[in-house]
Each structure stands twice: as structure tokens, then as C-alpha cells.
Amino acid sequence: MTTKRFLPEGAKARLGKGWTRNAVYSPDGTQLAVASSIGIWLYDAHSGEVLNLLIGHADHVERIAYSPDGKTIVSGSYDNTARLWDVETGTLKNTLEHTRTVDSVAYSPDGNTIVSGCWDNTIRLWDAATGALKNNLTGHTGTVYSIVYSPNGSTIASASRDETIRLWDAATGALKNNLTGHNCLVMRVAYSPDGNTIASASRDETVRLWDTATGALKNNLAGHNRFVVSVAYSPDGNTIASGCRDRTMRLWDAATESLKNTLTEYNGRVYSIAYSPNGRTIANVNQDQIVRLWDTVTDTLKNTLTGHTDAVDSVAYSPDGNTIASGSEDKTVRLWGTATGELKNTLEHPRRVYDLAYSPDGNTIVSGSRDTTVRLWDAATGTLKNTLAGHTRTVVSVAYSPNGNTIASGSEDKTVRLWDAATGALKNTFTGHTDWIESLAYSPDSSTLASGSGDGTVLLWDLS
């Protein structure tokens, strides 16, 4: 899919939508918001049409939540911030600073408070209107992965790497209870709609149900055979859905606490589960980067939201086809005769070689390395012709323009750099990706450069 809106300067198009981690419905059920590696995608929940893309985070968006009135989205990111977005306009309203990755966010039921959980083991409460910090809850000894308010807003439940679920008084921040029993980190928690039960998902391969009044363990739902990473209650409280690294989503009867069905249309772990407000659809995000929508009456797949891509590596033939160049973790570029398989030469980098390319005339090989440099080699003799320095992290991808005038390099520093092939001078630097640049390709007329990134997108740069 080509999405032309919200492109960085110099880009002509965006191909793909990035890695996805979390999906939530708007309170009225008309929108589905999806957290991704490049921003927050807003979809029409019925048609699947893209409505907007909210861009501003400097790294992957991990979790999102709608305000109760549906007018604002809060997002938590690897860039150490939580951000507030106007749903109608897509504009950034506020930025809440943390010291590490924000892995969970939630609104209080009255919409007045935002709570965020962070990799620094803390939970922060913010005034939703002003962004002022109201309270800082400490006590967990590991990353806080999940936070939810009780339906009446009086209690905050948090799940942590320290294998506990903690219940906090939402007004005072006092610790009310500490639920122990999981024997591995707790990934997600969810309240039943009546507030009487908490469901927790853990890497110990179980979903556990807890009495919120006493903190007692009510039941242990076993059946998954890998880490359970997501859990949700249906709006009517009759069903619990759990997603797992065993590539299944399981539906449990909340009353009898027995397994109702197992849905298996997956190619990887199920990261996130969300019910539509009317309970008729389940949306989930999977490791294969597809958002799936399920009919809860028939347990059949209704729709898929696709367009997410993965990274691509490359190898290089000489233009005459007589030589193959290979870049290796052994810090070398090796040249092989294609007819005999004989090793012809070995070119050495100080560190791992990620990518390489031949010049159109076949006289030069360019290589990118973990040593942060781009190196130009004489293809016939193997001698080093030039070293292009400027990237601040690993150079993952390189490409020659078809006219032979320019070399492009992509790096873990999230930039694409253009170099004069004859002199080695830096010609331009492009920014806009939110993850490293995995691959590069020129159009045949050298007027456009495509960059593929670990953020799951391809950007097209205008070089004319």
C-alpha cells in the first residue's frame, strides 16, 4: 500500500505501515487505532479505510489508549515519552517525559487522569488536561508492562517483570494489595466489566484469575504452551480472550472458566487483543504484522488490515556476472569466481560487513560495515580506494546509482547518506525513518532512491 500523507521532506511515497504492537477501539466503536513503529494508524473500524497517521514519536509506539470521550489518544513509546493526540485533527497536544521506555498507558474512567508504566519500574499519574505530574507510584522491582483502571476508577492494577500484580489506590497512590503466584513475568492485566475479577497473562504460560476484593487466586487457566502475552474481557464479561506465543488466541468461558475455542489463523505470537465496544468483533495484532478482525459470534475471520513489511538484505554480482561478492560477520568481503567457485580475493573491514554493491562499470565495490564506515574497493586488485566516514552507527545497506555518480548508504543511525562516488564527499543526508535502514535501491534513471527500514516502511526520495 502506498500512503502519501505525512511524508518526511524529500520522500515521494511510503510503502508499508511499520511494525505493529497494539490495537484499540475508540469508545464509540467507529475507529480502530493501531500502534506501529512509525506512528499511530487510525482506521475506520467498519471499512478498514485509513483515516490518519499520527507522527511525532522518535521511536516505536508500544501502547495506546483512547480517552473516555474518544477525543484524545495517549501513546507510550520507546522514545521515553507518552504523547497526547487530538483524534479529530491529528495534532500533538502534549508530551509527558519519562526516563525510559513507556510500555503501558491508560485513562481513568472519568478522563481526568492518565497513568503510564515505564521501564524504570515506576507508575506515573498525570493530569490529562494540563500534563502536570500528579503522583509517582514506586514499589515494583521490574519493568511495568501493563496498567488498567478498575471500572469504577478507584483502583489501578499494574503488571510487572517482577512477577507480581499490584493494586493501588487511584486517589492516594497507596498500595492496596500485592498479588503473587505467577512464576514468571506478568505481561498484561485486565479487569472484568463488573470489577470483581482481574485476569493476568504471564510468561509462565498461564492466565490467572484473581478476586479483586481479597486478592485471592480464583483459578488458573492452563492450555497455552508458550508465553501468554495478551488478555482481554468481552464487554459483557462472558468471555476472556488470551493471546500467546504459541500462535493461538484462546477464548475462555468467564463463568465456568473452561476453554470455549482456539483460533489458530496466525503466523506468530499474538501481541494485543481488543474487543469492539459492542462485543461483536475482536481485533488483534500479531507478530506477522497483520491486524485481524474476528466475528465473536461465529469465531470466524472477518477482515485483515495489511500492508506491513519486513527488512531485506542483499548480495552482489559483478555486472559481467563473473564474480560474486559476499559480505560476512567474519569482517571480510570475499570475491568468488562464478564459474569455478574459487576464492579470488578477500577484503577486510575491522568489523562485520553488512552489505555491498558493485559500481555499474564493475570497477569498484562499495561495502557497509558495523565499523560505521562505507568503503570503496578496487574490484580488480582488492585495494582500498576510499573510506567514507560520517555515519554514527552500523552501515546496514549500500547502493550505487545506475549512472555511477552517487553512492547511497543506510545506517542504524536512521539516516540515508548520499556520497559523491568520485571524490567521496558527502552530498546529502536524509532523515525520516524511525529505525535503521535495512536496504536501498535506485530507480533505473537515478532520479529516485528507495530506502527500506526496520520500521517496516519504504521511503522514496526525490533526487532529481
At which of 267, 285, 305 does a domain end? 305
Terminal-residue alpha carbon distance, the chain: 24
Rounded CA gap, 92 and 323, in Å? 52
> Are the CB atoms for 6 and 18 separated by under 8 Å?
no
In this structure, are 188 and 39 located in the same domain?
A: yes
In this structure, are 88 and 172 located in the same domain?
A: yes
In this structure, are 156 and 291 located in the same domain?
A: yes
Q: Which phi and psi (to 5°) does residue 35 adopt?
A: -80, 135
**Residue of 323, 410, 311 whose CA lies nearest to 365:** 323
In this structure, are 261 and 325 located in the same domain?
A: no
Rounded CA gap, 458 and 450, in Å? 6
In this structure, are 169 and 264 located in the same domain?
A: yes
Three-state SS for 365?
strand
Burial class (CB in 10 A: 0-12, 13-18, 19+), 183: exposed
Which grid cell is 422?
568520485
Residue 321 placed within a domain: yes
In this structure, are 240 and 368 located in the same domain?
A: no
Residue 4 placed within a domain: no
Residue 421 placed within a domain: yes
> Are the CB atoms for 85 and 72 separated by under 8 Å?
yes
Q: Which phi and psi (to 5°) does residue 237 adopt?
A: 80, 5
**Residue of 104, 70, 97, 102 whose CA lies nearest to 86:** 70
In this structure, are 368 and 321 located in the same domain?
A: yes
Residue 442 placed within a domain: yes
Cα 91 to chain centroid distance, Å, stands at 21
In this structure, are 282 and 158 located in the same domain?
A: yes
Rounded CA gap, 45 and 25, in Å? 8
CA angle, 72 as apex, 67 and 77 as ends, to 5°? 95
Burial class (CB in 10 A: 0-12, 13-18, 19+), 443: middle
Say which residues have a Cβ less than 8 Å from residue 152's Cβ, sequence separation at least 6. 109, 195
Query: Which amino acid belongs to residue 433?
Result: H
Q: Which CATH number belongs to the domain containing residue 362 in this structure?
A: 2.130.10.10
In this structure, are 244 and 215 located in the same domain?
A: yes
At which of 237, 272, 305 does a domain end? 305
In this structure, are 70 and 206 located in the same domain?
A: yes
What pLDDT sits at residue 291?
Answer: 63
Rounded CA gap, 452 and 355, in Å? 13
In this structure, are 163 and 135 located in the same domain?
A: yes
Residue 3 placed within a domain: no
**Full domain range(s) for residue 250:** 15-305
Q: What is the pLDDT along the chain (464 residues), one digit of tens a residue?
A: 444 556 777 777 665 677 777 889 999 999 999 998 889 999 998 888 889 999 999 899 999 999 999 999 999 999 999 999 999 999 999 999 999 999 999 999 999 999 999 898 989 999 999 999 999 998 888 888 888 889 998 999 998 899 999 999 999 999 999 999 999 988 888 999 999 999 999 888 889 999 999 999 998 887 777 788 888 899 899 999 988 877 788 899 998 888 888 887 655 566 667 677 788 888 776 655 566 778 888 888 877 654 333 322 345 668 887 777 777 777 888 787 766 656 788 888 888 888 888 899 999 999 999 999 999 999 999 999 999 999 999 998 898 999 999 999 999 999 999 999 999 999 999 998 988 887 788 888 899 898 878 787 778 899 98
Number of domains into which the chain is organized: 2
Cβ neighbours around 12 below 10 Å, total? 15
Which grid cell is 287?
507478530
Residue 171 placed within a domain: yes
Residue 9 placed within a domain: no
At which of 305, 324, 349 does a domain end? 305
In this structure, are 352 and 324 located in the same domain?
A: yes
Burial class (CB in 10 A: 0-12, 13-18, 19+), 335: buried
E strands in 87-216: 92-97, 102-107, 113-118, 123-127, 133-137, 144-149, 155-160, 165-169, 175-179, 186-191, 197-202, 206-211
Residue 293 placed within a domain: yes
Cα 17 to chain centroid distance, Å, stands at 10
pTM of the model: 0.68
